[in-house]
Structure formats: C-alpha cells, structure tokens
Amino acid sequence: MQVDPSPREELSKDLFGQSHRLAVMVAVARAQNGRVNPTELARELDLAQSAFQAPMRDLVKSGLLIRESGGRRIQYVRQASKVWDWILEVDQGLAEREVRRTSVRSI
C-alpha cells in the first residue's frame, strides 16, 4: 500500500527534488540553540535517519550546517544565513494554504 505524500513532502520534492529536505530544514531552523542531533531529529520527524542523511550531507556541503562529533554523539550546528528565515517563511506559507484549503472544503 502506497501512502500519498504530505503537502510538505510534495513541496519539498518540487523545491529540492527530495521529499524530506524541507522538514529537515524547518526542524534545524526551529532548533532553539541551533544544534540538532540525528537521533533526536529522527524521533521528531518520525523518520529513519537514512531518510535525511542526504539532506544533512548537502546542508553541510553548502556551509549551512557544521557537523560536530564529540565522543559517540554527533550534532549538526546551524550556521547564520537568511536561508533559515526563508525556509520558515516557506513552511508558514504552506501551513496558511492548507488552512485555507481545509476551510474551503468545509463550506
């Protein structure tokens, strides 16, 4: 049985060619201290870590994240960029469109 992609996954695929990059970037942008741990991120997004390894690797390669490892714990540290503001704006716009779409259906 195939599950239909969520609106966020569809938009992520349209923008980035990858289903989970938008969700990963939103989670990183919202991280209070700018740090994310892959295990905690997997739990938060309800995804296997393998589902977001490529987006994380690409964000490191682009300089938007720095990968730090201390002992057995890996963390990714968000770097200052207007990209993080933009990604939150994109996600907010998606949420607003979904609310409007849902309200139109209920009329």
Phi-psi region of 83 (alpha: psi -120 to 50; beta: other; left: phi over 0): alpha
pLDDT of the chain along its 107 residues, tens only?
Answer: 556 789 999 999 999 999 999 999 999 999 999 999 999 999 999 999 999 999 999 999 999 999 999 888 899 999 999 999 999 999 999 989 888 877 765 55
Which among 87, 32, 33 is positioned nearest to 59, based on CA atoms?
87
**pTM of the complete model:** 0.87
